[in-house]
């Protein structure tokens, strides 16, 4: 029997109000008109930013990559390509970025803003793609394992901006020139293989391209503003020369590079123009805005009689489980930033969530470490408050693939059991999910929400299963094409004084999921009902008690044609958080 002891610790570093997914439903209160003068965006600034990026390297047109002399029994291989001559791959890369920016803006014609900006980001955008090469065309059973590695070290840009200011809230677009530095690697063969040759081809380049993006910027204090921005970079295609580090062999491939980035930034204005005078009659109340930012650190550590997976096979081909004691740890730092604006008739909510994770398993035979950003979730919701008794809304949710989905042969051992650590999956594809619905205020305390949404789930690469697990075999990358999802949701919420509660019912219909274009999960349906209740104890330092309960039923999603009964599950938890409330 395997016994496991796990410890988790979470520490909040900065606190704000709960973000959208945890907000208790309540009847919105219409904002009162404000009489402040119009904010001016004119000024020069310096600042910094953090965020995540993702992109692809399309590799094609290989030439060269000739085998070095090998052992005397395989002289017929000398002078033949490694098998890279048929290489045609797309390698995904993702990770963290952070840097600085500086620029100036000028506001004119009451609301229009123009400007220029220079930006520099250090990046950790990496990607690996495992595959098998066939160096001997007439002997297809002879294969060489290979790993394609791509890495972006930095990105810089010089752009012009054009925007429109809504009394301080600036919506803008930008475009201009961009530069980047990249590293590439093609590692072929296995060090322990004394028969087939090995190679370590490497290359490095700097590229010039173009960039275009859009964002929002909001001033929250004297001389300070925060911004949320999306940028697209296109560095075109160029022929890249590779040199083997183990022989004089050379090779070249065509590489096309594109990068997407999402950034959360902070600007300090060195000087500002005074607020602009308001001209003409005010026909509508201005939008009032508020912002929150929250992050915390969570640490998990575990020890057990075996590592994870528990069915890992001992190295050397011995068909017996790996019997060494297991241990591991994970540090996870999630964050969330929210911007909410409201007027008499309109409410706008924007949310971004992401994080960074470091994980390591120290089990002998299953040692591995990974450090990566997680995927970034971004959403925007617009609710119309001008109708009596109804509040229609529309939202768009995005999963931005800033985390690592495909891990290397060493990193994959750090993908531990989710019962032992906080998260075990760090990334997937680009998901786009529009939703429409309506809020129905039943009374001052009760709110009914009904919505329907569709999620288009994008494909992504992921490492395949180890066969046998832990036997030193590099996992081969597989392309996952998740099925799209259609979701119908109903929520009944209550809030009165310190007591709040809500009940949520969800029905989700999932499409077919494919692996390398082959279906392996058929369509299925899942139903979930969940309830939560919270009581905010009186007093400045008493905290909040929360009770959660859920029950679900799912039609098994498999490719077997045999009918199987539905699967049901239930869960319940009680918790209490203590501390001063702001």
Listed range (3-7, 303-307, 354-358, 504-508) with the worst mean pLDDT: 3-7
Predicted pLDDT at 87? 72
pTM of the model: 0.75
Predicted pLDDT at 191? 57
Listed range (214-218, 458-462, 558-562, 571-575) with the worst mean pLDDT: 558-562
Predicted pLDDT at 561? 41
Rounded-to-integer distance, Cα 132 and Cα 511, Å = 31
Rounded-to-integer distance, Cα 413 and Cα 228, Å = 35
Listed range (324-333, 405-414, 451-460) with the worst mean pLDDT: 405-414
pLDDT > 80? residue 273: no
Average pLDDT, integer, range 569-581: 51
pLDDT > 90? residue 141: no
Rounded-to-integer distance, Cα 401 and Cα 390, Å = 36
Predicted pLDDT at 4? 47
Q: Where are the domains of the chain?
A: 1-31+287-482, 43-202+209-234+253-272, 484-582
pLDDT > 50? residue 579: no
Interval 188-206: pLDDT, tens? 876 555 566 678 899 999 9
CA dist 241 to 92, 94, 150, 251, 377, Å?
20, 23, 14, 6, 37
Predicted pLDDT at 84? 63
Q: What is the DSSP letter of 411?
A: G
Predicted pLDDT at 571? 56
Predicted pLDDT at 321? 63
- Higher-scoring residue by pLDDT: 576, 174: 174
Q: 565: helix, coil or strand?
A: coil
Listed range (220-224, 500-504, 546-550) with the worst mean pLDDT: 220-224
- Higher-scoring residue by pLDDT: 101, 548: 101
The neighbouring-strand residues paired with 202 are: 185, 243
Predicted pLDDT at 64? 81
Confidence of residue 16 (pLDDT cuts 50, 70, 90): very low
pLDDT > 60? residue 558: no
Q: 192: helix, coil or strand?
A: coil
pLDDT > 70? residue 5: no
- Residue 362's contacts (CB-CB under 8 Å, 6 or more residues apart) are 326, 327, 328, 329
Listed range (58-62, 72-76, 95-99) with the worst mean pLDDT: 72-76
Alpha helices in 463-560 (DSSP H): none
Average pLDDT, integer, range 549-555: 83
Predicted pLDDT at 564? 47
């Amino acid at each position: 029997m395997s016994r496991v002891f796990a410890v988790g610790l979470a520490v909040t570093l900065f606190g704000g109000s709960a973000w959208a997914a945890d907000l208790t439903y309540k009847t919105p209160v219409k904002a009162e008109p404000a009489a402040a003068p119009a904010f001016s965006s004119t000024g020069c600034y310096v600042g910094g930013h953090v965020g995540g990026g993702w992109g692809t390297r399309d590799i094609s047109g290989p030439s060269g990559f000739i085998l070095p002399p090998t052992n005397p029994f395989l002289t017929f291989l000398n002078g033949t390509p490694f098998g890279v001559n048929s290489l045609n791959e797309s390698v995904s890369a993702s990770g963290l970025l952070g840097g600085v920016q500086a620029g100036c803006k000028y506001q004119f014609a009451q609301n229009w803003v123009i400007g220029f900006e220079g930006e520099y980001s250090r990046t950790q955008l990496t990607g690996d793609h495992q595959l098998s090469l066939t160096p001997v065309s007439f002997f297809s059973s002879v294969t060489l394992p290979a790993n394609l590695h791509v890495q972006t070290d930095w990105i810089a840009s010089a752009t012009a901006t054009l925007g429109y200011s809504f009394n301080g809230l600036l919506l803008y677009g930008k475009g201009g020139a961009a530069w980047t530095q990249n590293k590439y690697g093609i590692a072929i063969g296995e060090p322990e293989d004394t028969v087939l040759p090995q190679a370590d081809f490497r290359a490095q380049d700097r590229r010039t391209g173009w960039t275009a993006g859009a964002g929002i910027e909001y001033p929250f204090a004297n001389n300070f503003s925060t911004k949320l921005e999306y940028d697209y970079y296109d560095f075109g295609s160029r022929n890249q020369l590779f040199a083997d580090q183990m022989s004089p062999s050379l090779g070249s491939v065509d590489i096309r590079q594109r990068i997407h980035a999402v950034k959360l930034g902070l600007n300090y204005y060195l000087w500002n123009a005074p607020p602009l005078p308001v001209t003409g009659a005010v026909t509508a109340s201005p939008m009032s805005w508020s912002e929150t930012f929250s992050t915390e650190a969570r640490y998990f550590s575990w020890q057990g009689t075996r590592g994870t997976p528990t069915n890992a096979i001992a190295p050397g081909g011995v068909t017996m489980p790996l019997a060494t004691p297991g241990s591991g740890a994970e540090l996870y730092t999630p964050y969330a930033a929210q911007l909410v604006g409201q007027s008499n008739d309109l409410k706008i909510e924007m949310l971004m969530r992401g994080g960074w994770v470091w994980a390591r398993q120290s089990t002998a035979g299953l040692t591995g470490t990974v450090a990566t950003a997680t995927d970034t979730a971004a959403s925007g919701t617009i609710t119309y408050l001008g109708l009596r008794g109804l509040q229609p809304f529309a939202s768009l949710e995005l999963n931005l693939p800033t985390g690592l989905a495909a891990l290397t042969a060493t990193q994959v051992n750090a993908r531990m059991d989710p019962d032992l650590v906080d998260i075990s999956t760090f990334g997937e594809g680009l998901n786009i999910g529009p939703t429409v619905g309506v809020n129905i205020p039943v009374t001052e305390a009760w709110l009914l929400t009904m919505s329907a949404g569709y999620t288009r789930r994008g494909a992504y690469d992921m490492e395949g299963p180890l066969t046998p697990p832990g036997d030193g075999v590099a996992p081969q990358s597989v392309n996952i094409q998740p099925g799209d999802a259609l979701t119908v949701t109903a929520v009944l919420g209550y809030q009165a004084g310190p007591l709040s509660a809500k009940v949520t019912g969800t029905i989700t219909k999932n499409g077919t999921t494919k692996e390398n274009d082959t279906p392996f999960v058929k369509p299925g349906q899942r139903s979930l009902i969940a309830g939560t209740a919270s009581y905010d104890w009186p007093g400045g330092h008493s905290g909040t008690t929360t009770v959660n309960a859920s029950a679900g039923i799912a039609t098994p999603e498999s490719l077997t044609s045999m009918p199987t009964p539905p699967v049901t599950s239930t869960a319940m938890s009680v918790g209490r958080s203590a501390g001063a409330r702001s």
